[in-house]
Structure 1
Amino acid sequence: MSVRPLPLEWVRAFEAAGRLGSFIAAAGELSVTQAAISQRIGHLEERLGVRLFLRKPRGVTLTVEGEAWLPHTTIHLRAIHQSADDLFGHGPRQVIIAASASVVQTWLVPRLTRVQTANRLEFAFSTMVLEEDYAKGSGIQIRYGSGPWPGYRAARLFDEELAPVAHPDHSHGDWRAKPRIALSGPRLGWAHWGGATGPTPHLRFDSFIAALVAAEMGAGVMLASLPLAAESLAAGRVVRLDAHSLRPPESYWLLAPPDRCSDARWRALTDAFCESSGE
């Protein structure tokens, strides 16, 4: 039996109520009254000839039919919104990215010209350091690790590689005897450097960019992320001291909730910022 076209406002009411588990919450999201949500869903159930919700004294729950249909409506409504954004530029043009100041300065900012002009995007950066700060966020994030990242689109920025770097003055003689700079955080450190012995680090930083600046100023030898230190290396402010390197599975990842980032915007961001061999 064919079904007549369904008014989009009815479908949106069902999808919001089913996803949020509440007519009241759906009314708040769609900026209508609870009575309007109930009425639209009632019309929809009448048109389809099935019950989509079980009404209870303390709320509503989806029926078997409602549970089966909900993911289809969510996917297709999301596709409508994303296609409008992709084709007509609807939606906010500002992109807010939460990332450490070091990643913003050494990796993201040098690549902004790849994405800003062609996609007419405006960027705002929120620098975050603590893991719990990331957990609170709901927008685009840069996080360090190896995944998995449930609930997010995910693309690795680069394949991590670590090696000793220092001011050119430290390249003379045995660099292993030079003062060492340590970096707090999740990445591998001097203890993982091939079992090599050396002086105990006398400088420790919780920021990659601060440690890199210290190395540029001649304060010691840093076990640096070569991708993040690429501009400093190219400019000769630091030099690589050893051909050996560490290649951990962890790296920085670009993450975005699917419903907060359209397909076209995600492609623009990954094309600009990601230079990894895989996702």
Structure 2
Amino acid sequence: MSQRPPPTPMLQAFVSAAKTGSFARAAIELNLTASAISHQIAGLEEWWGVPLFERHSRGVKLTAAGQVLLPVADGFFKELDAVLHSLNPSKSQPLYLSCTSSLCSTWLIPRMHGSHTQASFNIDLILTSADMNSANLGAHQFDVAIVMGYGDYPDHHAELLMRDAVFPVCAAEFQRVNGDISLTDVARYPLIHRVDDQVCPGWESWFSFQGLAAPPYHHGPRFPDSSLAISLAVKGGGIALGRTALVYDQLEAGTLVALEAPVMMSPAAYYVICRNGRQSEPDIARLIDWLKTNAGEFLREVAVRHPHIAGVSLT
């Protein structure tokens, strides 16, 4: 007797967690909590009777069984989408726009406010968040994606969107309590870290750029996502490394302040990509143009409003 298929939410949680390598990132992508993702995965492991993930402090990794089952589960969603399209080919298909999770919540969504009513942005979109790189692009569904890296995306058309400056930030109340924090005193305070920081500069890189000795190991929370680290800084939990696009709105609102220090440019930049040849499709071309226009306007605004962090550039 064949086994009943598991509930769709369990499969979605499994596929998303496998592709992102993190329950927290899967939660952001599916608009759930990390606890809900964990419960869905645990339920699926019980349903199928096999462990799907190895849990580590830095994320999750597929077991051998998970590696076998992932293409089957992922293929189910892709095949279902293809069949539905074949049954109703005249129905307009929305574009899938994928964006790094941090940039999606802190920069992209706020700048989409009201844009969907403008003629220049009258595009049917499904927005997803995922942290992609040149090695895992094939594991994600998207028509257009905003990725952070170095521009090397085989088989994809890539255009530079913007670069970020990197600088320490803390809550305004944290600064009020501790007074002006000098460059050489930063290491004396709680530092908020990211984990698996392969692309974004971490504290070690920042101290080296400033010509300072790296601080001793700091115990404390380490986050897989920059926006989570910044959220703790907003709450007064210490000093985080901010990137221009991720903290600009908080600087404007006064919930964060940038410490006085020479800014360093992130070696990686944001790129907007699509499959080769698709950049000329009208909706994709219009979406890319909208993204680049907003990035240009944003960088010009930064230069006027916060010139001390205006190391950002389009080139």
- Whether TM exceeds 0.5 here: the answer is yes
Q: Specify which of 248, 253, 257 is matched with residue 235 of structure 1.
A: 253
Q: What is the count of residue pairs matched by the alignment? A: 190
Does the CA-based 8 Å contact 2:189-2:238 persist in structure 1? yes
3-state secondary structure, aligned to 1:248? strand
- Any conservation in 2 of the 1:180–1:199 contact (CA below 8 Å)? no
Q: Which residue of 2 aligns with 1:189?
A: 202
Pairing partner for 2:171 from 167, 170, 173? 167
> What is the distance in 2 between the residues matched to 1:278 and 1:154?
14
Shift of 1:240: 0.2
Q: Secondary structure at the match of 1:143?
A: strand
Structure 2 CA distance for partners of 1:130 and 1:262, relative to 1, 3 Å: closer
Among 138, 149, 152, the alignment partner of 1:145 is 149
Aligned mates of 1:149, 1:188 — CA distance in 2: 21
Given candidates 291, 294, 297, the residue that maps to 1:273 is 291
Within 2, Cα distance between the matches of 1:210 and 1:127?
A: 14
2:110 counterpart SS class? helix
What's the CA shift for 1:95?
1.9
Q: CA separation in 2, counterparts of 1:91 and 1:191?
A: 51
Q: Which residue of 1 aligns with 2:62?
A: none
Using the TM superposition, give the Cα deviation of residue 255 of structure 1 relative to its aligned residue in structure 2, in angstroms.
Answer: 0.6
Identify if the C-alpha distance between structure 1 residues 111 and 93 changes in structure 2 by more than 3 Å, giving closer, same or farther: farther
Structure 2 CA distance, aligned partners of 1:130 and 1:261? Answer: 19
Aligned partners of 1:108, 1:222: CA distance in 2, in Å? 21
Contact (CA 8 Å) 2:100, 2:148: kept in 1 or not?
A: no
Partner deviation per Cα, 1:99-153 (whole Å, 9 max, x = no partner): 2321211121122257532132122122223656533235222221112223222
2:189 maps to amino acid = K
Q: RMSD of aligned C-alpha atoms?
A: 2.6
- Partner residue in 1 for 2:139: 136
When Rg is computed on C-alpha atoms for both structures, the one with the higher figure is 1
Structure 2: tracts of 5 or more residues without a match: 1-89, 297-312
SS at match of 1:129: coil
State the shift of 1:92 in Å. 3.6
* Partner Cα distance (1:250, 1:233) in 2: 22
- 2: CA distance, partners of 1:133 / 1:125: 18
Q: 2:160 aligns with which of 153, 156, 163?
A: 156
Query: What do residues 161-204 of structure 1 show as CA deviations (whole Å, max 9, x unaligned)?
Result: 10000101232143512100011222111101124344534221
Report sequence identity in percent.
23
